[in-house]
Structure 1
Amino acid sequence: MSLDGFVVADNGHASNDQLIKATGSGAHVAGFGFAAADGIYNLKLGYYDESDGQAQLQVLVNGEIIDSFVWDADAGSAIVDSTSYAERELTAIALNAGDLLELSGTPNGGEPLRIDFLEYVFVDDLPVV
Structure 2
Amino acid sequence: MLYELIGVVRPGKVLEVKEIAKTAGTLVLNAGGVVRGITNWGTFLLPKPYRKHQQLHTSGHYFIMRFDSSAKTQHSVRRTLSLDPRMIKYSVVKMGDKLEAIKEVGGQAEWASKKGKERDALSQWM
Range into which the TM-score falls when normalised by the shorter chain: 0.3 to 0.5
TM-score (norm 1): 0.40
- Which structure has more helix as a fraction of its residues? 2
TM-score (norm 2): 0.40
